[in-house]
Amino acid sequence: MSAGEAILNLLFPPKCAFCGALMEEPADGLCPACRSSLPYPSGKGELRTVGGFPCAVALRYEAMVRQGVHALKFHDHPQRARVFARYLAQAAAEQFPGGFDTVTFVPVSLWRNYRRGYDQAQLLAEEAAKLWGVSAVPVLRKIRNNRPQSTVKTSAERRANVLDAYTVPHPELAKGRRFLLIDDVLTTGSTMAACARCLMDAGAESVVCAVLAGAEK
């Protein structure tokens, strides 16, 4: 560790990306308790289907994973995306080897991006893409500031809530590409499916999806 890093750690002690516990050794960004008990799906990754599109799920959305995602999305901890992206990238690489050539993400609205200061799915996509030596490409745009999906109860209501909420303003960016579409959490899959369909309607060759965490089916 350099002298500069030591001073930063003294002033801003490193915390676990998932539970937020202080750590003496930052290592991989996880405390020993979280490292030993992360809620992986069956095996190390799970493949689900959302609206006919395959989706790799890295972790179950429970316990410390939910805590970490909330910190990323609602409590101004964008740096945690760097740690989370490793798990997302691993799940995508295991499920879709050679299955995509372009990385993109499910965008938040301009209003929410302004209020939050960043787009959490974009951060995850950018960090995951770095691990493959490529760049994440912003292709989708959210054009309707609908209610947060977490506040909508039924699957039918969730599908209606994202209807016509997304578009591809520059179809030439989608035409002929095989996309990996990234988001933070998968619940019913309505948002991911709506975005994947937008990409296909804009001329994409194929779309596969990946999320950090998936709620119980």
d(CA 134, CA 128): 9
> Cα–Cα–Cα angle for 72, 74, 78, nearest 5°?
30
Check residue 40 and give its pLDDT. Answer: 92
Q: Per-residue pLDDT for 149 more than 60?
A: no
- Angle subtended by helix axes 63-74 and 120-131, to nearest 10: 110
Check residue 11 and give its pLDDT. Answer: 44
Average of per-residue pLDDT values in the chain: 87
Report the range of poorest mean pLDDT among 1-10, 123-132, 166-175, 191-200: 1-10
Report the range of poorest mean pLDDT among 21-35, 56-70, 99-113, 145-159: 145-159
Check residue 7 and give its pLDDT. Answer: 41
Check residue 8 and give its pLDDT. Answer: 41
Write the pLDDT tens digit of every residue in 162-193: 667 899 999 999 999 999 999 999 988 989 99
SS3 string, 17-64, reads CCCCCECCCCCCCCCHHHHHHCCCCCCCCEEEEECCEEEEEEEECCHH
Report the range of poorest mean pLDDT among 24-33, 61-70, 80-89, 183-192: 24-33
In this structure, the number of other CB atoms found within 10 A of the CB of residue 164 comes to 10
What's phi and psi for 70, nearest 5 deg?
Answer: -60, -40
Percent of the chain surpassing pLDDT 70 = 82
Give the mean model confidence (pLDDT) for residues 131-146.
90
Which of 25-29, 43-47, 76-80, 147-151 reaches the highest mean pLDDT? 76-80
Query: What separation in angstroms does the CA of 162 have from each of 111, 145, 192?
Result: 16, 9, 10
Check residue 163 and give its pLDDT. Answer: 64
**Closest by alpha carbon to 49, among 192, 199, 198?**
192
